[in-house]
C-alpha cells in the first residue's frame, strides 16, 4: 500500500518538473528571440553582415563536427582527440603551403597550390586519424566505456604535444594566399575569403554526404553503426568500415584545418581544444550521429557566436566561449537528442 502511494507521489512530482522544464525552455527561447529581434530592428545591415560572418565560421565548424558525428555514430565514442587532429592539420597545412612551398601572397599559382595542399592535408588528417584508431581505439572496442574515452583524452594530449613541438607555444601568423578583395552587394561586404570557404567547403560536404548515403561503403557504414554483429554476418568487413569512417572524419578535419589557417590567419597548438568543444556542441545541437545535423548545428553555433561577438546588443567577445558551452548545457537539459536526432536518455 505504502509503496503504491509513494510511487504515485513520485510520478506526480516528475510531471510537475517536466512542466517546469517546458516553461523554462520557452523562456530561454523567448529571451533569444527577443535578443536577435531587437538587434535586427536596431541595425538590419549590421545584422546581415554579422550573419555572413557567422555562416563563414559555421561552415568550418560543420566540417569538424562531421568528424565527431561520424565517429560517434559508428562506435559511440566521443573522440576527444578530434579537435586536436584539426589543430594538427592546420599546422601541417601551414608547414607545407607557407613554409615548404613558400606560398605567401595571393596569385594564381599559389591558389592552385592551395588546392593541391588541400588534398594533401585531407590525406594527412585521414592517415593520422586511421592510425589513432588502429593503435588505440580498436583494441578497446569491447572494453568498458570509460576506457576508450580516457584514451581519447590521452590522445588529444599527445596530438597537442606534437603541435607544440612543431610550431612552439606562441600562435603563428599564416600568410594567406587568398586575396583580401571585398565585394559589395547592397551595402553588405563579402570578403573573397568568405566566398572561398563557400566554394571549397560546400562541395566537400556534399561529397561526404554522397559517400555516406549513396555508395556501397556508406551503406556498410550505416549498417555497422546499427549492429556490428549482424553486419559482420552479412559479410561486411567491420574493421575496415570503421577505419574508413575515421578516414573520412580525418579528411573533413583536414579540410577545415587548411581553410582555418588560410582564412583566420593564425595557427596555435591549443586551438584544438576550443574548436573541438565548439564542434562537438555543433554535433550535439544537430543531433549526434546525424550528418545533416552536424552541418545545421555548425551553422547555428557559428551564427550564435557571431551574433554574440558582433552585434551591438550582446555580451561581447570575452563571453563567446561561455555562450557556446551554455548552449551545450542547455541542450543537455532540454533536448539531449539534438534538433534532428532522437532522444538519448540513459537506457535502463
Partner 1 sequence: MTNTTAAAHHAHGSSNKKWAIGFSTIVAVIFLLNVFVLPNTNTQVQRFFNAWFSLNSLAEIMIWILMALGLNIIVGYAGLLDLGYVAFWALGGYVAGWLMSPFFNQVSINFFGNPREGLEMGIHFHVFLVLILGGVFTAIWGVIIGGPTLRLKSDYLALVTLGFGEIIPQFMLNGSNIFGLNVTNGAQGIGGLDAVLLFGHEIGTFALPEKFLMVSLLAGAMIFFSIRLRDGRLGRAWLAIREDELAASMMGVPLWRTKFSSYAIGAVGGGIGGVGFAILIGGVYADRFNFVISIIILAMVVLGGMGNVWGVVVGATVLAWVNSVGLVQVGNLINNTFDTKFNFPSYQFLLFGLLLVLMMLFRREGFLPEARMRMVMNEDKLEDLEKVTDDTKIGSH
Residues lying near partner 1 in the complex (CB under 8 A):
76-78, 136, 139-140, 142-151, 153-161, 164-165, 227, 273, 277, 280-281, 284, 318-319, 321-322, 325-326, 328-329, 332-333, 336, 344-348
Name the residue among 34, 33, 39, 29 with its Cα closest to residue 313: 39
Return d(Cα 35, Cα 314) in angstroms, integer.
8
Full DSSP string of 240-256? HHHHHHHHHHHHHHHHH
Task: Calculate ∠ Cα 158-162-167, nearest 5°.
Answer: 150
181 versus 322: smaller Cβ distance to partner 1: 322
Considering the complex, state which of residue 22 and residue 145 has its C-beta at the smaller distance from partner 1.
145
In the complex, minimum distance from the CB of residue 25 to partner 1, in angstroms, rounded to a whole number: 12
Whole-number Å distance between alpha carbons of 221 and 235: 13
**Rounded to whole angstroms, how far apart are CA atoms 41 and 254?**
39
Bridge partner list, 267: 172
Nearest C-alpha neighbor of 279 from the set 262, 302, 260, 259: 302
**Closest distance between partner 1 and the C-beta of residue 228, in Å?**
9
Smallest gap from Cβ 167 to partner 1, in A, equals: 13
Q: Which three cell numbers stand for residue 338?
A: 539534438
For the bound state, the minimum distance from the C-beta of residue 158 to partner 1, rounded and expressed in Å, comes to 4
Query: Which one, 195 or 330, has the nearer CB to partner 1?
Result: 330
Instruction: Output 124 or 269, the one with its CB closest to partner 1.
Output: 269
For 77: left if phi > 0, alpha if psi spans -120 to 50, otherwise beta; the answer is: beta
Give CA–CA dist 293/309, Å, rounded. Answer: 24
Calpha distance 247→137 (Å, rounded):
14
Q: How far is the CB of 112 from partner 1 (least distance, A)?
A: 36
> CB-wise, 178 or 289, nearer to partner 1?
289
Nearest approach, Cβ of residue 6 and partner 1 (Å): 12
Q: What cell does 69 get?
A: 558525428
- Separation between Cα atoms, residue 123 and residue 313, nearest integer Å: 43
Q: Which is nearer to partner 1, 58 or 276 (CB)?
A: 276
Helix (H) or strand (E) holding 173: strand 172-173
Q: How far is the CB of 194 from partner 1 (least distance, A)?
A: 28
Nearest distance in Å: CB 305, partner 1: 14
Nearer to partner 1, 216 or 318 (CB): 318
C-alpha to C-alpha distance for 103 and 94, rounded to whole angstroms: 10
Nearer to partner 1, 48 or 331 (CB): 331
Contact 276, 83 (CB under 8 A): yes
Amino acid at each position: 500500500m505504502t509503496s503504491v502511494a509513494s510511487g504515485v507521489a513520485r510520478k506526480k512530482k516528475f510531471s510537475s518538473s517536466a512542466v517546469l522544464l517546458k516553461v523554462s525552455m520557452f523562456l530561454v527561447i523567448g529571451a533569444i528571440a527577443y535578443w536577435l529581434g531587437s538587434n535586427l530592428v536596431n541595425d538590419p545591415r549590421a545584422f546581415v553582415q554579422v550573419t555572413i560572418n557567422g555562416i563563414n565560421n559555421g561552415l568550418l565548424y560543420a566540417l569538424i563536427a562531421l568528424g565527431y558525428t561520424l565517429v560517434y555514430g559508428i562506435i559511440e565514442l566521443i573522440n576527444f582527440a578530434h579537435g586536436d587532429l584539426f589543430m594538427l592539420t592546420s599546422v601541417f597545412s601551414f608547414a607545407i603551403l607557407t613554409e615548404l612551398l613558400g606560398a605567401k601572397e595571393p596569385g594564381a599559382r599559389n591558389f592552385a597550390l592551395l588546392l593541391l595542399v588541400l588534398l594533401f592535408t585531407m590525406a594527412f588528417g585521414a592517415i593520422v586519424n586511421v592510425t589513432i584508431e588502429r593503435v588505440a581505439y580498436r583494441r578497446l572496442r569491447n572494453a568498458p566505456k570509460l576506457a576508450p574515452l580516457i584514451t581519447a583524452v590521452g590522445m588529444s594530449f599527445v596530438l597537442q604535444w606534437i603541435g607544440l613541438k612543431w610550431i612552439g607555444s606562441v600562435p603563428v601568423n599564416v600568410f594567406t594566399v587568398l586575396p583580401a578583395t571585398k565585394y559589395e552587394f547592397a551595402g553588405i561586404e563579402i570578403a573573397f575569403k568568405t566566398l572561398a570557404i563557400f566554394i571549397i567547403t560546400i562541395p566537400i560536404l556534399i561529397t561526404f554526404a554522397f559517400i555516406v548515403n549513396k555508395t556501397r561503403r556508406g551503406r556498410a557504414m550505416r549498417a555497422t553503426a546499427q549492429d556490428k554483429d549482424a553486419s559482420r554476418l552479412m559479410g561486411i568487413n567491420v574493421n575496415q568500415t570503421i577505419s574508413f569512417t575515421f578516414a573520412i572524419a580525418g579528411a573533413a578535419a583536414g579540410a577545415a584545418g587548411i581553410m582555418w589557417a588560410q582564412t583566420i590567419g593564425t595557427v596555435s597548438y591549443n586551438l584544438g581544444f576550443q574548436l573541438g568543444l565548439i564542434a562537438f556542441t555543433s554535433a550535439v545541437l544537430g543531433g549526434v550521429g546525424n550528418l545533416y545535423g552536424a552541418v545545421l548545428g555548425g551553422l547555428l553555433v557559428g551564427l550564435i557566436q557571431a551574433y554574440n561577438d558582433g552585434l551591438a546588443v550582446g555580451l561581447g567577445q570575452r563571453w563567446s566561449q561561455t555562450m557556446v558551452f551554455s548552449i551545450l548545457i542547455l541542450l543537455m537539459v532540454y533536448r539531449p537528442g539534438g534538433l534532428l536526432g532522437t532522444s538519448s536518455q540513459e537506457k535502463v
